[in-house]
Chain A
Amino acid sequence: MDTIYFLVQQMMFFSIPLLIVALGGMFSERSGVVNIALEGIMVAGAFSSIMFISKMQDVMSGQWLLILAILVAVVSGMLFSLLHAYAAINLRSDQTISGTALNLIAPASAVYLARVMQPNGVQQIQFTNTFRIAKVPVLGDIPVLGPLLFQNSYITTYIGFAIFIVSAIVLYKTRFGLRLRACGEHPQAADSVGINVYRMRYAGVLISGALAGLGGLVYVIPTSTNFNATVAGYGFLALAVLIFGQWKPLRILMAAFFFGLMKTIASSYSGVSWLQNLGIPSDIYKMVPFIATLVVLAFTSKKSQAPKASGVPYDKGAR
C-alpha cells in the first residue's frame, strides 16, 4: 500500500504541470491560435518566479513566498505570450514561426539574464524548497485518501485541480467559453453575430500564457532545487497531452494522468521493489511514456476533433 501512496504522490509532481499547461494550450487553440510556444512560456514563467524565490527567500519562506511566486509566474507568462498574440492575431503571421521564435528566445534570455543577474555569472538559479506540505491538517488523516492526496504534497497540486474545474466550467458553461469556442471553429460566423474575434483570441492566448507560466513554476518546484533554463520538453509534452486529450478538459485530465503515471514509473521504478526486480534498464523505462503516447495516438487519431479554425489567422476581409 505504501508503494501505491508513494507512486501517486510522485505522479502528481509530473501530472499537474502537464495538466495546467495543456489546459492553457486548450484555451489558446480553442480560440483559434496554435500555441507551440508553450515550452518557451513555461521557461519564461519558471525563470522569473524561481529568480523571485531565489532573491526573496532570505526575507520570507513557506507558502506565502510560493503564492507570490505563483503570481510572478502567471504575470510573466502572460506578458511573454503577448508577443505571440500580437504576431498571430494583429499581424496575422504564421503561428508556427512566432511560436518557434518564442521557444528560442525564452531559454536563451533565461540563461543570459541569470548570468547577468547572479554573482559570478552562474547560469543555474538555486533555491531552497520550503514549500512541501508533509501533511494537510485534518484532511491528511483521512484513511486511504489522506496519504494519496493530502500528504507529502504541494499547494500547487490543489491549484492544478482547481484550474481544471474552473476551466471545464468556463469553457462549457459560460458565455465567454461559448464565444471562445465559436472563434476557434468559425470566426467569420462569430464575427457576424457581433463577437470581437480579435479580443477573444487575445483572451485565449493570454490565458494560455498565464497557465503555461504557472506550469513552468509548478514543474520546477517539486522536482529540483535549481533552475537551469529548461523545463525538459514539458511544454511539448503538454502539447501532446492536449492533442491526446482531444482539446477537451476531462480527456486532457485523463491524458495528463496517463502520461504522468508513465513518467512516474520511469523516474521512480528504483524505489519500487517489484519494478526494480524486473531488471529492465532505466533507459527503456524512460522511453515508455513516449512510446505509449504514440501507440495510443495511433489508435485514437482517426477521428481528430481539432478546432477547425485553429492555426488560421483571422482576416476580417477574407471570404
Chain B
Amino acid sequence: MHKIKKGLSAASPSIMAIVAGLLAGFIILLISNPVSAMRGLATILLGGWNNGMKGLGQVLYYATSIILTGLSVGFAFKTGMFNIGASGQLMVGGFVSVYVGAMWTFLPGHLHWMVALLMGMLAGMCWGMLVGILKALLNVNEVITAIMLNYIAMYGINFIIKNSPLHDRLRNQTINVAANAVIPKAGLDNIFYVLKGRFHDASSVNGGILIAVLFAVLVYILINKTTFGYELKACGYNQHASRYAGINEKKAIISSMAIAGALSGVAGALMYLAPPTGMHIHVAEVLAPEGFNGIAVALLGMSNPIGIVFTGLFIAHITVGGGYLQSLKYMKEVIDVIIGLIIYFSAFSLLMRDVMRSIGKRRSKKALEGEGKGAKR
C-alpha cells in the first residue's frame, strides 16, 4: 500500500501534465468546432474503447513499440545520455529481423521468430553501441552521432532492400516474413476482437506486448537491483565522482548505449515480424516516428521502467482514440499537438513538485519548531 502511494506521488507531475495537456487540447477542439468539442474530448479519453475489445487490442499493439523505444530512451537518460537515435536503432533491428524472418527458413517452428527477434536485438545493440563508442573514446556528442546514424540507417536500409531479394517491387516494401517468423498471437487474438456476425474481427495485438512488459521488468531489475545498474546510474549523476569511486565510466557509457540500442532493436523486430496483412518496411525517406515517440514516453514516464509501461499505454490509448476523431470532422493530428503539450507541461510540473515539496518541508519544519516550543514550556 505504501509503495502504491509512493508511486502515485512520483507520478503526480506527469498526471498534472496530462490533465493540463488534455485541457489545452479541449480548447483547441472548442476553437476549431465548438459544437462537438465535448464529444471530441470524450472520444479521445475513451481511446480504444470506442471500438470495444478490438480497439483495446489496437492500443496494446501500438503501445508495444513505443514502450520499448521509451525504455530505450529512458535507460540512456539514467546514464546521463540522450538517445535521440532510437529511430535508427529500431530500423536496423527491424531490418535484420525481417531479413532473418524471410531468409532463414531452415529454422524450425518457434525457433524461427525467436532467432529473428534475437538478431534484431543484436543489430540494434550494435547500432546503439556505435554512439556509445564514439562518445566514450572520441568525445563525440551523442546527440549528433545518433542523428547522423538515424539518417545513415534510413538510407542504408533503403539501399540494401532495393538491391536484395527482400524487395517487393510492386509495393516498394519488404516481402512477407515466413509464417514461423511471425510473432505468435499468444492467445490475445481470442480476447481482443469484435464480432461481425459470426466472424471474429481480431485486432493486430500479439505476444509482443508481453515481451515489451517483460523487458520493462528486466530493465527495472537491472537499474535498481544490480551493481552494474548502480554504476550506470552513478555515471549519470556525476561522471567524475564515479570515476573517482573506481567505476569505468567509458565502459558504462558504451554498455548503456548498447542496451538502449538493443531495446529499440527489439521494438523494430516486434513491429516488422508481422503477418502479411501487418507492417512492412517501406522504401521511403522517412525516419521511424516510433523512435521519437519513445522520447515522449520516456520523459512522461520520468525514465522509470514501470512508469514507461503506463505512459506508453496512455499515449497509445489517446493516439488510437484520435483515430476515431475523424468521424466528428476533427483532424487526428490534434493528438500529436496534445502529446507535445503534455511533454511541455511535464517540464513545468517537475518544478511544481519541487515547489510543493519545499512548502511541505517548511510546514513540517514549522510544526516541529512549534512542538519544540511546546515541549520547552
Contacts and interface: CB of A to CB of B under 8 A. Distances in A.
Do chains A and B stick together as partners?
Answer: yes
Interface string A290-303: 11011001110110
A101 B347 contact: yes
Interface in B145-189: 145, 147-149, 151-152, 155-156, 158-159, 162-163
Q: Chain B at the A interface: mostly helix, strand, loop or mixed?
A: helix
A115 B331 contact: yes
Interface string B259-303: 000000000000000000000000001010000100110010000
A92 B337 CA distance: 23
B52 to A, nearest CB: 28
B261 to A, nearest CB: 16
Nearest to A98: B347
Contact of A101 (B163, B335, B341): B341
Interface string A268-312: 000000000000010110110011011001110110100000000
A168 B144 CA distance: 24
Contacts of B347: 87, 91, 93-94, 97-98, 101
Size category of the B interface is 35 or more
A104 B339 contact: yes
A246 to B, nearest CB: 11
A12 B145 CA distance: 25
Interface residues of A, number: 47
Contacts of B351: 91-93
Q: Chain A at the B interface: mostly helix, strand, loop or mixed?
A: helix
Given A93-B350, A283-B156, A291-B152, A100 B295 contact: yes
A294 B153 CA distance: 13
Contacts of B151: 233, 287, 290
A102 B337 CA distance: 10
Interface string B328-349: 0001011111011101101110
B340 A105 contact: yes
Given A100-B295, A283-B158, A115 B333 contact: yes
Nearest to B329: A121
6 nearest A-B residue pairs (beta carbon): A108-B336, A104-B340, A105-B340, A283-B159, A93-B347, A101-B344
Given A104-B340, A294-B145, A294-B148, 20 more contacts: A36-B143, A93-B350, A93-B351, A98-B344, A106-B340, A108-B335, A108-B340, A112-B334, A116-B32, A121-B331, A240-B148, A243-B144, A283-B162, A287-B159, A290-B148, A290-B151, A291-B148, A297-B141, A302-B139, A304-B139
Interface of B: 28, 32, 82, 84, 134, 138-141, 143-145, 147-149, 151-152, 155-156, 158-159, 162-163, 285, 287, 292, 295-296, 299, 331, 333-337, 339-341, 343-344, 346-348, 350-351
Interface of A: 36, 83, 87, 91-94, 96-98, 100-109, 111-112, 115-116, 121, 233, 236-237, 239-240, 243-244, 281, 283-284, 286-287, 290-291, 293-294, 297-299, 301-302, 304
17 contacts: A91-B351, A97-B343, A97-B346, A98-B347, A100-B343, A103-B340, A104-B336, A105-B340, A111-B331, A239-B147, A243-B141, A281-B163, A283-B155, A283-B162, A287-B155, A294-B148, A302-B138
